[in-house]
């Protein structure tokens, strides 16, 4: 591990290492990777902010802050509020109003880790209104909205070691805003032939953002999710390896029941004690956290 490269991540304008978890293909593990990487970085002593940019709000729900679970009355989710329906300011207000009026800042809508026992990192939740983003975020400033909002948050005194952004499964303005704010992308893919086509489109999108915005974007890692040791997976990974292995480490995560169960109970895997062994997934996400530290030349923070 120690001989691998350090410091290949791009530090964005806020000065805080920021990583967007992307892939326009649906159901590849973006949200799973975002919330469990946030949990792993927090476990290693870092102060982390996770931002849910997806109108589907899966990360907010996966941390228990969406609707409860009618089918399981004992789910810890039922005791937590549903932040998706609040009448207070929400993330869409920040992204739409802030570039024009500077009225609604991220600091107004962030849920701080100290507010809930199970939360080890701060969260900017999604909201039901985020579904209107396509209609409202239609001018040139919209793509810069998250970057500007993060710069203001840092000016307001918020300081984080890492910011992680969960992207929706598309190449919409929300995803662009996340890529521009982060300048670092962590890919979550399933190792199938169709995933290769999706990644080709994603490279094109990243290149076009680099050209248009005159910025550099780094690939920080690839999660080969629901990995199976078969020919399909090997073929996919060797194709990825050829282009990116030197800069983007690949993490293989098999199907693990406890990941789904932690999610169903509104927790990351470090906050969830499962009847099944959780060593494989916990070790993998701690390794991802270590890699993120190396990408930005940071070290674990001693408790």
Ligand X SMILES: Nc1ncnc2c1ncn2[C@@H]1O[C@H](COP(=O)(O)OP(=O)(O)OP(=O)(O)O)[C@@H](O)[C@H]1O
Binding positions for ligand X, rule: CB under 6 A: 26-32, 54, 56, 58, 169, 188, 225-226, 253, 255-256, 259-260, 263
Q: β-strand 218-225 against 184-190: which pairing, if any?
A: parallel
Q: Pick from Mg ion, ligand X, none: which does 28 bind, CB < 5 to 8 A by kind? A: ligand X
Length in residues, the chain = 303
Of residues 17 and 62, the one with the C-beta less far from Mg ion: 62
Cβ 30 to Mg ion, closest distance in Å? 5
Cβ 113 to Mg ion, closest distance in Å? 21
Q: Hey, CA dihedral for 62, 66, 68, 69, is it positive or negative?
A: negative
Alpha carbon 254 to its chain's center:
19
Of residues 154 and 185, the one with the C-beta less far from ligand X: 185
In DSSP notation, 224-267 reads EET--SSHHHHHHHHHHHHHHTTTS-EEEE---HHHHHHHHTT-
Q: Hey, CA dihedral for 39, 185, 261, 65, is it positive or negative?
A: positive
Look-up of token digits 């207000």: 93
Q: Which strand ranges, in their side-by-side order, compose the sheet holding 250-253? A: 122-124, 48-52, 162-166, 18-22, 184-190, 218-225, 250-253
Q: Pick from ligand X, Mg ion, none: which does 255 bind, CB < 5 to 8 A by kind? A: ligand X
Q: Pick from ligand X, Mg ion, none: which does 253 bind, CB < 5 to 8 A by kind? A: ligand X
Cβ 28 to ligand X, closest distance in Å? 4
3-class SS at 184?
strand
Of residues 18 and 225, the one with the C-beta less far from ligand X: 225
Report how far residue 45's alpha carbon sits from residue 121's, in angstroms, rounded to the nearest whole number.
10
- What are the Cα distances from residue 145, in Å, to 76, 180, 254? 34, 9, 36
Q: Pick from Mg ion, ligand X, none: which does 51 bind, CB < 5 to 8 A by kind? A: none
Q: Pick from ligand X, Mg ion, none: which does 37 bind, CB < 5 to 8 A by kind? A: none
- The binding track of 20-59 with respect to Mg ion, each residue x by CB under 5 A or -, is ----------xx--------------------------x-
Of residues 46 and 256, the one with the C-beta less far from ligand X: 256
Cβ 25 to ligand X, closest distance in Å? 7
Positions in 57-76 near Mg ion (CB under 5 A): 58
Cβ 21 to ligand X, closest distance in Å? 8
Buried b (16+ CB within 10 A) or exposed e, 56-75: bbbbbbbbbbbebbeeeeeb
Alpha carbon 282 to its chain's center:
17
Cβ 190 to ligand X, closest distance in Å? 9
Q: Pick from Mg ion, ligand X, none: which does 263 bind, CB < 5 to 8 A by kind? A: ligand X
Binding site for Mg ion (CB under 5 A): 30-31, 58
């Amino acid at each position: 591990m120690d001989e691998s490269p350090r410091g290949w991540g791009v530090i964005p304008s806020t000065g805080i290492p920021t990583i967007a978890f992307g892939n326009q293909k649906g159901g590849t593990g973006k949200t799973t990777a975002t919330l469990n990487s946030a949990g792993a970085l927090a476990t290693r002593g870092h102060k982390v902010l996770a931002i849910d940019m997806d109108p589907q709000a899966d990360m907010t729900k996966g941390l228990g802050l969406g609707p409860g679970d009618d089918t399981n009355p004992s789910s810890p989710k039922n005791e937590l509020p549903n932040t998706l329906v609040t009448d207070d300011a929400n993330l869409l207000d920040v992204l739409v109003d802030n570039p024009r009026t500077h009225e609604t800042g991220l600091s107004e809508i962030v849920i701080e880790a100290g507010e809930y026992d199970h939360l080890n990192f701060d969260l900017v939740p999604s909201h039901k209104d985020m579904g209107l983003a396509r209609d409202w975020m239609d001018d040139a400033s919209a793509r810069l909205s998250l970057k500007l909002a993060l710069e203001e948050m840092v000016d307001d005194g918020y300081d984080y070691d890492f910011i992680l952004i969960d992207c929706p499964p598309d190449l919409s303005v929300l995803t662009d805003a996340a890529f521009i704010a982060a300048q670092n992308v962590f890919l979550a893919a399933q190792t199938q032939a169709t995933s290769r086509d999706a990644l080709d489109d994603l490279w094109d999108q990243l290149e076009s953002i680099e050209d248009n915005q005159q910025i550099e974007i780094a690939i920080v890692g690839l999660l080969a999710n629901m990995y199976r040791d078969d020919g399909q997976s090997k073929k996919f990974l060797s194709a990825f390896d050829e282009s990116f292995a030197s800069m983007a480490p690949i993490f293989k995560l098999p199907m693990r029941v406890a990941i789904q169960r932690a999610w169903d109970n509104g927790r990351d895997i470090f906050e969830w004690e499962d009847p099944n062994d959780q060593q494989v997934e916990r070790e993998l996400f701690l390794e991802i956290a270590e890699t993120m530290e190396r990408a930005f030349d940071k070290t674990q923070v001693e408790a």
